[in-house]
Amino acid sequence: MQTIPPTLAPSLAAVDFDGATGLLHGASVVEDVRTLGDLAGVFEAESARAALDPSTVAYRVQCYFPVADGTEGGLFFGCTFLEPGDVGGEYFMTKGHFHAKRDTAEFYWGIRGEGLLLLMNEDRTIRAERIQPGSLHYIPGRVAHRMVNTGTETLTFGACWPSDAGHDYATIRDEGFSARVFKGPDGPEIRRRD
Ligand code: M6P
Ligand code: ZN
């Protein structure tokens, strides 16, 4: 009888879900760091952001791109590590984006920490889902998505999206989300910004 010896995945060797760090290990992992200096115009209190140390890390994204960007039918995989903190009371958050190819969807899931996932339709109607370890979030096509860390530890979440989705950051840069999340006296407050 012929048998087939299994091998480890050749390029992404492992994701640390056991230790719950979510860290990706492997030769082909690409890491992107976003500092407060990179996030000009993202927070409402832009002058407060500009006054903070621009080298402060807001989040890191580790990605595994098994196929070239733009490939139809492929998938990308990532883990994001969003630090706790705020700018003028507004919690640290990702830039947020629509997909350039509007109809493409994405999964997010919580690994560590807690926060809110803002989901905004093209007509600017918005909702928020609580993210926590083990929560799974399906983001349909045509929905902008932004993660907000409302906790006191690093918010770690996984993501999987089509390799031809692309990122449209310009729409969010120009029009923003229709709600922002601030520290309130009784916890996070999602305030409308229509
Ligand atoms: C997830 C995915 C990535 C995205 C990252 C950070 O890992 O959605 O595509 O780049 O979050 O979010 P953003 O690009 O909006 O800053
Ligand atoms: Zn996306």
Encode pLDDT of 164-177 as tens digits.
999 999 999 999 99
Atom of ligand 1 nearest to the CA of 145: 15
Tell me, in angstroms, the distance from the centre of ligand 1 to residue 105's CA: 13
* Distance (Å) from CA 1 to ligand 2 centroid: 46
Of 20-29, 37-46, 74-83, 170-179, the poorest mean pLDDT is in 20-29
Q: For residue 119, what are the β-bridge partners?
A: 127, 145
- Its pTM stands at 0.96
Distances (CA, A) of 25 to 9, 18, 53, 119, 178: 11, 13, 30, 30, 37
* Three-state SS at 159: strand
Q: Which atom of ligand 1 is nearest to the CA of 158?
A: 7
Find the 99 Cα to ligand 1 centroid distance in Å. 10
- Which residues neighbour 112 within 8 Å (Cβ) at sequence distance 6 or greater? 20, 21, 22, 133, 153, 154, 155, 156
Question: Tell me, what's the pLDDT at 10?
Answer: 72
> pLDDT (tens digit, 9 = 90+) per residue, 62-115?
999 999 999 999 999 999 999 999 999 999 999 999 999 999 999 999 999 999
Read off the tokens for 1: 């009888």
